[in-house]
Amino acid sequence: MIKDALLKVIFIPLLGIGLPIIAGIITYEHYSVPEIIAANLFFILSSFTIWGGCNWIHVKLRPLYAPVSKLFTRVAAICFVSALYGASIGGLAAFVWIKISSEVFSWTSLYKFIAVCVASVIVFTLVYEILFLNKERELDDKIVDQLDRERSQAELQALTNEMDPHFIFNSLNTLNHLILNDPKQAHLFNNKLAQVYKYFLINKNRELIPFKDEMEFIDNYFFLLQIRHEGKLQLQVELNEEARRTMIPPCALQVLVENAIKHNEFSEDKPLFIKISMNGQYIRVSNNAKPKSYSVTSTGIGLKNLSARYRIICKKNIVIENARDNFTVKLPLIT
């Protein structure tokens, strides 16, 4: 519903007093002050009746013309019905006034009053339709945002469910190897693995977290990756003071790091080099690109989900730069 209390308070009395003056159906010189007040109250009541009736028409007709796809047809229909109602009530009020007052009957004055009533009804009908359509659009935007948010959460959950079995399987294999060959390193690996899963559990339903928390998580996550890939990965971090005030969706960096590992070939001689840096607008995550020669099984959920989350949270898009020797994803800063 459109909140029109202020419009009613201002314009119903204004129209009730102004329209008879414009139409010239009240000759003020012929009446005393009490009679003028009574006349104005009569036309204010008429104005209220027209306003209230048109509101009722809008409410009742809206469900009927909602299926009509053409906006002009819908607005023209409600303007026509409202104008017809306004002309009927306005003409009746003017006729009654001329009969009970000292005015000389004139068809010209009567038609003029009906015309100004119709014009006013059409103007305010258009105003109401603009307000209603704007409110309807805002509601639609909220619904779309909510659906996007729910879809994004569902995709994130699907991504987490997809990632967890692979990650824990590989991590447990690595841990098993370390237990047999390097118990001290196995203990450290187990602690880091526990921290990584604690992060998943705490933050999986959060929209934003402090950037420093994500970086602590990446430190633990990258430690596990380095052990698993036997030092074939390198991570460089270049941050500034702005990092302390920055927020980020949970697992945003992890998605990009995992994406780089999944799609690129690397070895001890040619390690995968991942760099996380920051400037005034973006968090940049880049890696040297050497795509795998064979096709990689991927759902494509990761980057799509990350992009959707940024659009929902800050109305901005992530930027993907895919050069021949370098792949970069730029995440908008959220402070």
Q: Indicate the average pLDDT of the chain.
A: 82
What sections of the chain are H helices per DSSP? 5-23, 33-65, 71-100, 107-181, 183-203, 211-228, 252-263, 301-314
Domain ranges across the chain: 5-142, 182-332
Entry pTM: 0.54
pLDDT surpasses 60 at 163: no
In this prediction, residue 274 has a pLDDT band, given cuts at 50, 70 and 90, of: very high
CB environment 211-239: b (16+ within 10 A), e (fewer): bebbbebbebbbbbbebbbeebbebeeee
pLDDT digits (tens, 9 = 90+) for 71-89: 677 778 888 888 899 899 9
- CA 222 distance to own-chain centroid: 35
- The percentage of residues in the chain with a pLDDT greater than 90, rounded to a whole number, is 13
pLDDT digits (tens, 9 = 90+) for 39-75: 889 999 998 998 888 888 877 776 766 555 576 777 7
Lowest mean pLDDT among 30-44, 148-162, 210-224, 249-263: 148-162
pLDDT at 153: 66
C-beta separation of 62 from 128 below 8 A: no
pLDDT at 106: 79
In this prediction, residue 273 has a pLDDT band, given cuts at 50, 70 and 90, of: very high
- The percentage of residues in the chain with a pLDDT greater than 70, rounded to a whole number, is 88
In this prediction, residue 283 has a pLDDT band, given cuts at 50, 70 and 90, of: very high
pLDDT surpasses 80 at 326: yes
Greater confidence (18 vs 312) lies with 18
Task: List phi, psi (to 5°) of 215.
Answer: -70, -35
Q: Is 251 left (phi over 0), alpha (psi -120 to 50) or beta?
A: left
Helix, strand or coil for residue 276?
strand
Greater confidence (69 vs 28) lies with 28
CA 21, CA 2: separation in Å to the nearest integer?
A: 30
What is the torsion angle, in degrees rounded to the nearest 10, for the CA atoms of residue 76, residue 82, residue 88 and residue 91? -90
pLDDT at 331: 92
pLDDT digits (tens, 9 = 90+) for 96-152: 888 888 777 778 888 888 899 999 888 888 887 777 777 777 777 777 777 777 776
The DSSP secondary structure of 185-240, one letter per residue, reads HHHHHHHHHHHHHHHHHHHTT-S-EEHHHHHHHHHHHHHHHHHHTTT-EEEEEE--
Across the range 1-5, mean pLDDT stands at 62
Across the range 212-216, mean pLDDT stands at 91
Residue type, 156: L
pLDDT at 97: 87
Q: Which fold has domain 182-332?
A: Heat Shock Protein 90 (3.30.565)
C-beta separation of 101 from 120 below 8 A: no
End-to-end CA distance of the chain: 36
Across the range 297-317, mean pLDDT stands at 74
pLDDT surpasses 60 at 156: no
Handedness of CA 299, 302, 303, 306 (dihedral sign): positive
CA 202, CA 196: separation in Å to the nearest integer?
A: 10
pLDDT surpasses 90 at 174: no
Handedness of CA 132, 137, 140, 146 (dihedral sign): negative
Across the range 314-328, mean pLDDT stands at 87
Helix, strand or coil for residue 71?
helix
CA 38, CA 287: separation in Å to the nearest integer?
A: 82
∠ Cα 45 51 57 (to 5°): 135
